[in-house]
Structure 1
Amino acid sequence: MLTLENLSFGVQDEKSQKEIIRNLNLTIESNKFVVVTGPNGGGKSTLAKLIAGIEKPTGGRILLDGADITEKNITERAQSGISYAFQQPVRFKGIEVFDLLRLASGKELNITDACQYLSEVGLCAKDYIKREVNDSLSGGELKRIEIATVLARGTKLSIFDEPEAGIDLWSFQNLIAVFERMRQNIKNGSILIISHQERILDIADEIVVIANGQISMQGPKDDILPHLLGTASAVDACTKFYNKEEA
């Protein structure tokens, strides 16, 4: 479905070119729930932005269903079937939830369908369908509404960049329930989540660990997750494992 070939991305600082992603190769198959994790600063979020078209690689290729999309911008990637959910969802003053879902779907969406998408993310449709997407919504509510817009689009690849960021424990519990339902009902597409939360990692079909811009581990959850547990946090475990492999 999605193939990254020798993907690289660097930025120029005052003295030299800093490589954030280095000759990375990755394939994400259809109908898979994949979680990308690793130490902070390892390149996880940059990888998500490269796939979505927010950033442009300095080397390598990105293929979607065999078609080269490397030079396509974010709008063209979206049209090709890629959705991207930001760490901090955008608020749209003056736009109601129903209008946002209708715009996201790209088709004539009726109230019944819109309410179904809200129900799938654990929101009472009658309480939210006419709400304005503004500061009256909590971070957790906004995250779930954004997920509902991704469901409404029905794209080939849905990317979520650290969806747990900035939400409280109660909202996080609800978010986990949403992703569990998405995992159970996955079809005709794949889900890619950037996260280091154990409960999200535990939902995955496959875990990819990125450190220093390269993949240090990749495989089925049951093979990879045990390597990431047993310390204070998954991030610490990833760092220790990667340093051990480099030694």
Structure 2
Amino acid sequence: MIPAIAVRRLDKRFGATRILRGVDLMVEPHERHALIGPNGAGKSTLFNLIAGAARPSAGRIELYGADITRLAPAAICRRGLARSFQTTSFFAKLSVFDNLRCAAQIANRDRMRWWQRYTATREGDGHAEQVLEAVGLAERRDVIAGTLSYADQRALDLGLALASGAHTLLLDEPTAGMNRAEAARAVELIRTATAGRTLLMVEHDMDVVFGLADRISVLVQGEVIATGTPDAIRADPVVRAAYLGDIGDAAQGAAG
């Protein structure tokens, strides 16, 4: 099976500082894959490289077998990969629906011709309505996006990625800044709304990671030191020594 995302021997240097050191990472189609590690491990740098926001010093990145290593972010998005950020990114003065409508129209633009524009707009609006329901914002359809609660803003951020038509999603700390109840609701939303899609996420909340991910990769000092199921990662002595420590015991207790 061709991996959804394949990162091969990826290096990134900033001057003399080597941030990523020959990273190999495989994310399978329709998998929910978490990337964890201490601050400064290189997680955000790796996300930037996969999304095209930066260029690697060496190595290769593939999306369903196609080389995207040197493509610009917009070109990667058109191939079906969308990214959400730690801070929400939307049109604050537009309604929730109009934000989703914009993302849906961008997804349809390659198929649009001037004589088909009305039909394409109707298709985009229909898709935006479906996403509105999927992310639980139907009752806030006409609310100005900038006035949403923080949790609803993150739901809208996820909706924008879905409305773009992406089959592969990069989620950067999707529950950051949420309380326990909000984080639990966000996990269920991600689980249901991204069904059938491939998900790679960076997340520091171990309850979220162990509760949502099918597999986990651990990045420490620019290197992937382990990849496996949540149970395998929780029990890995190398991972526990390098990163999890008592967190692993807490996650074990929460899961028990």
The TM-score range, normalised by the shorter chain, is: 0.7 to 0.9
Q: CA deviation at 1:168?
A: 3.2
Q: Cα RMSD (Å) of the superposition? A: 2.4
SS at match of 1:150: helix
Shift of residue 222 of structure 1? 2.5
- Establish whether residue 221 from structure 1 lines up as the match of residue 221 from structure 2: no
Could you tell me which residue of structure 2 aligns to residue 4 of structure 1?
Answer: 7
Aligned residues: 226
Q: Which moved more, 1:101-110 or 1:67-76?
A: 101-110
Equivalence for 1:101: 100
User: Which blocks of at least 5 consecutive residues in structure 2 are unaligned?
Assistant: 109-120, 249-256
Looking at structure 1, the residues matched to 135 and 98 of structure 2 have their Cα atoms a distance apart, in angstroms, of 17
Question: Does the C-alpha gap of structure 1 residues 225 and 181 become closer, same or farther in structure 2, counting only changes over 3 Å?
Answer: farther
- Judged with a 3 Å threshold, the aligned counterparts in structure 2 of structure 1 residues 8 and 239 are, in CA distance, closer, same or farther, namely farther
1:29 CA displacement: 1.3
**1:211 and 2:220 matched:** yes
**Taking structure 1 as the reference length, what is the TM-score of the superposition?**
0.83
> Which of the residues 129, 135, 140 maps onto 1:121?
135
Alignment of 1:164-203 (within 5 A): 164-182=175-193, 185=195, 187=196, 189-201=197-209, 202-203=211-212
Shift in CA distance, 53/239, structure 1 to aligned 2, threshold 3 Å: farther
Checking the alignment, whether the CA contact within 8 Å between 1:196 and 1:235 is kept in structure 2 is: no
1:35–1:200 Cα contact (<8 Å) kept: no
- More helix per residue: 1 or 2? 2
Q: Give distance in 1, aligned partners of 2:159 and 2:69.
A: 27
Runs of 4 or more above 4 Å deviation: 109-113
Which amino acid in structure 1 is aligned with residue 230 of structure 2? K
TM-score by length of 2: 0.80
Residue 89 (structure 1) shift: 0.7
Find out whether 1:130 has 2:142 as its counterpart. Answer: yes
Q: What percentage of residue pairs aligned between the two structures are identical?
A: 29
Contact 1:83 1:155 in 2 (8 A): yes
Shift of 1:111: 5.4
> Per-residue deviation at 1:191?
0.4
Q: Which runs of 5+ in 1 are unaligned?
A: 241-247
**Letter of the aligned partner of 1:196 in structure 2?**
H
Separation in structure 2 between the aligned mates of residue 203 and residue 21 of structure 1, nearest angstrom? 26
Contact 2:131 2:159 in 1 (8 A): yes
